[in-house]
Structure 1
Amino acid sequence: MRNETMHGVSLRGRDNASRVGLLLTLSLLGILFTSTVILVGVWTRLVDAGLGCPDWPGCYGRLVVPDAERAMAHSPDAPLESFKAWVEMIHRYIASGLGLLVIALLVAGAGLRKYQGYPWGVSLALLVVILLQGAFGAFTVTLKLWPQVVTMHLLGGLAVLLLFVWLHLRLRRFASGDTGERPRRRLTPLWGLAILLLLLQLALGGWVSSNYAGIACQGFPTCNGQWWPEMDWSEGFHLTQTVGPNYLHGQLHADARMAIQQGHRIGALLLGLTLLALAARYWREARLRPWLGGLVGIYVLQLGLGVANVLMWLPLWLALLHTAGAVALVLCLALAVWHWREPVGDVNTIRQDKEWAHV
């Protein structure tokens, strides 16, 4: 049985190497699984199944969708729509499976947490965020699709996705024997601006969806035939809306929804300009070109999908593609940031890189 050295600690046998391989596989599966959960969640909203089950975590008090008679006995004010109830429960089943995957990662990696460079902190953060996601899932139902909660639930799903990506990348670094001690480049203001604007645009997209403002503006680039129609910005971005009403199909008037849609369009423009500036600034780094090119390409595709959604009145398949594009944009920016920060060569090379990279 051979000896392996990992970060200065002697590991005997193949058990630890196999465990790291398992963790790599599970973390990669988590990326794919989380993307699926996000898309199924969006599908659930698009078919108006968010309140298909009026309670949580069960459906009319049961772990599977009951028949109409039992549903009526449990919640007489919420008649059973079997299709919508099953859509909602399928989403919950898949999300529960994701939670179990996070726990499996934590358990499988517990024996490696003593080794330098093992991303135990990322694993714990993933558990905390997935628990918060479960809470937001419950609040989404109990607060009847309150837009603030729905938007935070979407952002939480993307946070889980990013943590899975970061965990997988850190595990790859750990498996290669890199302790993470070599200096890594800090993010420049331009990188920070790109991250901030993408986060803002994702939040705006969630706000558009949760307030049913996707087709508040007919036509593009104008909105209902005008470049700047009368809009109610204060009501559209009133973040202290009353808790209590059923927000299925939204509660805002047309002028407020137009403001939300226009805000999303303005955010898309600012994000696009920033991504172009980012690509132009760092294009000479060969290892960043695929990711910078990917960012610009995905953004252009997203822009086209957004316009098509407006012109075609938000068909289900196109709205799902738009969400998938947002997920792809998040993944690509995360990988671009990772490759930017990763050191190449010795310490002197990194110092030289920092000098020209500062903006």
Structure 2
Amino acid sequence: MHPARARPGFRGFPPPPGGSSMDSLRRVATVTTVATLLLITVGALVRASGAGLGCPDWPHCYGRWVPPLSVEDLPPSADRATFNLAKTWTEYLNRLAGVLVGGLVLWTTWRAWSVRKAARRVFPLALGIALLTGFQGWIGGLVVKYELDPRWVTVHLFLALLMLALLIELRETTRLGDIPQSRREAGMPPLLARALKVLLWFSVIQILLGALVRGGLEVVVQENPDLPRDRWIPTLGSVELIHRLLAIALALAVLGFSWRLARSRETSATDRRLAWTAAFLIAAQYGSGVGLHRWALPPTLQVIHITLASWLFAVLFLLHRRVR
């Protein structure tokens, strides 16, 4: 028999056991990870369009599994004055996207069960993601119940980031299997590896702080419906200012880290590409933040802003996982 072909990142060692089943799980985990990122974007679209309460109940929508198509279809107890067909269906499609991601997570868990003997950590990790997905759905119901309370929205976003991190962890586990850390390819100088951990947590804090800022805007609009759009941000006070100052610090830190990592001789070509990707994402994300402030929070830029933030977190976590 011919020896197993080595894969990149193993310094000539054979791939982890499991063969095509492990490859299949890795592909499914990749699809689920990308779908989760897209779901975060859809959630940002719902928030930016003001459709968060387009369906005022959960898990139903106006007491139905399929939303009404007109005012005439509303139940007698519904407030007809607040019904908006576009917002209702925007929120409903967001829920359908969540169901799709839930299905992908279950598929991932089933595939993980099939290779549990090849990599011991795979199935418990996949099962944890499945349980977290169910819990996330319950939290989504609380977000609706408490009418987009910023605290519950922030918890909802944090769990989405945690789910994203665990999916990346699962994908990388299928790549490395149970190979000891000492036998893996070195990827980053220790000082940069420690700096990366700090950046990772920094990005999480900044994303959650941004969610609180966005939630504060919802409160401002509800309490002052006639307030001009260009006056929304100044009413937020110190929270928005802290978020803006931390954005500058995070942008400089990620750009500096990416430059140092890309110049390091200990870094693999893949990690250098990820470093430049992180640099591009933070530059674009900071630029979108400037645009939000300058042009009075256009909805399109709101969606772009949170999308870039989630992709930046994913890239930083992937870098962290590759060299951990």
Smaller-chain TM-score bracket: 0.7 to 0.9
1:313 to 288, 293, 296: 296
Q: How many pairs align?
A: 298
CA contact (8 A) 2:220 2:235 kept: no
1:28-60 Cα shifts (integer Å, max 9, x gaps): 111221111111111111111101111100101
CA contact (8 A) 1:302 1:326 kept: yes
Amino acid at match of 1:279: S
Q: What are the ranges of 5 or more consecutive residues in structure 1 without an aligned counterpart?
A: 214-246, 342-359
Kindly indicate whether residue 192 of structure 2 is the aligned counterpart of residue 249 of structure 1. no
2:94 to 83, 91, 95: 91
CA contact (8 A) 1:112 1:118 kept: no
Residue 308 of structure 2 aligns to a residue whose secondary structure is: helix
Residue 246 of structure 2 aligns to a residue whose secondary structure is: helix
* Residues 7-86 of structure 1 mapped to structure 2, 5 A cutoff: 17-66=19-68, 67-76=70-79, 79-86=82-89
Residue 237 of structure 2 aligns to a residue whose secondary structure is: helix
Question: How big is the alpha-carbon RMSD for the aligned residues of Structure 1 and Structure 2?
Answer: 3.1
Provide the residue aligned with 1:265 in structure 2: 244
CA contact (8 A) 1:72 1:78 kept: no
Amino acid at match of 1:94: A
Residue 57 of structure 1 aligns to a residue whose secondary structure is: coil
How many angstroms apart in 2 are the aligned matches of 1:76 and 1:332?
Answer: 44
How far is the alpha carbon of 1:263 from its aligned partner?
1.2
Provide the residue aligned with 1:182 in structure 2: 181
Provide the residue aligned with 1:232 in structure 2: none
How many angstroms apart in 2 are the aligned matches of 1:124 and 1:251?
Answer: 43
How many angstroms apart in 2 are the aligned matches of 1:293 and 1:38?
Answer: 23
2:211 to 206, 211, 221: 206
CA contact (8 A) 2:196 2:316 kept: no
Q: What are the ranges of 5 or more consecutive residues in structure 2 without an aligned counterpart?
A: 5-12, 225-231
1:161-182 Cα shifts (integer Å, max 9, x gaps): 22222212211223xxxx2323
How far is the alpha carbon of 1:280 from its aligned partner?
5.1
Bigger mean CA deviation after superposition, 39-48 or 286-295: 286-295
How many angstroms apart in 1 are the aligned matches of 2:173 and 2:88?
Answer: 39
How many angstroms apart in 2 are the aligned matches of 1:153 and 1:248?
Answer: 21
What TM-score do the two structures reach when normalised by structure 2? 0.81
How far is the alpha carbon of 1:145 from its aligned partner?
0.4
Amino acid at match of 2:251: G
1:248-278 Cα shifts (integer Å, max 9, x gaps): 8355997661322211111112212332443
CA contact (8 A) 2:255 2:282 kept: no
CA contact (8 A) 1:46 1:316 kept: yes
Question: Which has the bigger relative contact order, CA under 8 A and spacing at least 6?
Answer: 2
Bigger mean CA deviation after superposition, 324-333 or 281-290: 281-290
Provide the residue aligned with 2:143 in structure 1: 140
How far is the alpha carbon of 1:294 from its aligned partner?
2.3
How far is the alpha carbon of 1:290 from its aligned partner?
2.2
How far is the alpha carbon of 1:326 from its aligned partner?
0.7
CA contact (8 A) 2:48 2:299 kept: yes
